[in-house]
Structure 1
Amino acid sequence: MFEREIERYNTLLKEYRTTVIDKFNVEDLKEYNEILFSAHSCAIEGNTFSVDDTRALKEKGLGMIPQGKTLFEAFEILDHFNAYEFLMEQTDHPLTEQLVKDTHRILTQHTLTYRYKDAIPGEYTNTDMGAGDTIFGNHEELIARVSRLLASTQKAIEDLPIHPVEIAAQFHKHFIFLHPFRDGNGRLGRLLSNFILVKMEQPMILVEQQDREKYIGALKACRDERTLAPIVEFYFKTAIKRMDTEIALKKEMTEGNDYDYSK
């Protein structure tokens, strides 16, 4: 069904690895992704920190909160840093409920109880949930399905019945609509889908803040049309766009310098 996207992705991935990934120090690449991913993923949920603000916070901590930004937003991003770093150290481990709960606990450690006094970081919701124009199902029934989703996804990671990007995208859709936690499901779902990609030695997929409406639209289309195709297509397009952009930028920054002062 996604033959064209898969062919384009796989072809581009070869160039992206040799042009971008293989040229980076491993730890530098991890931090580069951490800052970009944290800034955009939190921004999708309403955080106003820019990428530059996020980089400054990473480098200087709470001593560098830009004017007009809140302490809550700073803690949200700092917690996201910690969750990202924790999860990316676990890529040799299987996808389990304990891993998901531990990541959620770190991700929402300083923000969850500020919004929901009766919620506990790392623990599933104790009430039915709604977000935007979506009312999710009975929370007890949805939570009971989480273990099946994780086991099925782990098996797919091991057996690779479909392309890695399809596995990550399908997991993301299912996780979002199970919505097992009181808050943080979107940020956690994006972290986990990238954990899946990294486990399968694929580049991370960065959903940029400016693509928020397309991203939410793809999830809603999955809900309304009862198909996984929209989110899978969105994931492929997003991955291809990022690789294309970074390859082009790398070439431009390498070849584009001209030191002839007479011009």
Structure 2
Amino acid sequence: MTDTLAGRAEALRALHRPGDPLVLPNAWDAGSARRVVEAGYPAVATSSSAVAESLGHADGEATPPGEMFAAVARVARAVAVPVTADLERGYGLRPVELVERLLDAGAVGLNLEDSDPRTGRLADAGAQADLLAEVRAAADAAGVPVVLNARIDVFLGSGGDPAARLTEAVRRATRYLAAGADCVYPILLADPAALSALVAAVPGAVNALARPGAPAVSALAALGVARVSFGGGLYAAARAHTDRLLRVVRAGGDPFVADQSAASG
């Protein structure tokens, strides 16, 4: 089992290619994960917000860890490609237990945030680097080179000097990569010039978020990113589509006709 997981981890890591990024339309359950693979994607990522809402919880570590890992396990059992899990800030678990539960679920990669999911307050960069180093050491001890994606949250929220935020993001990215992260994820950074500057300044792979108002995947590739995530975007789009069909039913209409009309339009 460890050999299989190690092979999947290496395969996942190899998919992070600057300029030819790994594209991850994030899944939230076994069914959506299967559809991602059937569409031709070589790996599956979960979205913490999408998984949480699909389980009836709010985002921000409101999901009991057991439920989150069970959902990740269902995803991993459903597909034959590497799975990477969004685990927020680790649910307060010790790094050894976090890695153990990740591998028991069959996943070989994880996201970790550097802000408190409940308050949004940024963690001290040194403390976060220590956490990442402990996760890396736990993965090494388990014999699986887990792909560690370190999220950088300095661009969350509004306000602040853009240049100062970029400087802080580069500082954190450099520390996190030195601590053992494989990839850094400056979530919500969408300005092409700033993203290009960050890619050029950090010695490792960069993950960008695809969302409305952000550069298209092809443009992100041209900027040199190595990974593109959709976060909870596909889940939100599916939810919005379901809401529209429910309104059609409520109004006495035919949701199947409405669905076909939307598709043809």
**Category of TM-score, reference length = shorter chain:** under 0.3
Question: Which is strand-richer, 1 or 2?
Answer: 2
Q: TM-score, normalised by structure 2?
A: 0.27
Q: TM-score, normalised by structure 1?
A: 0.27
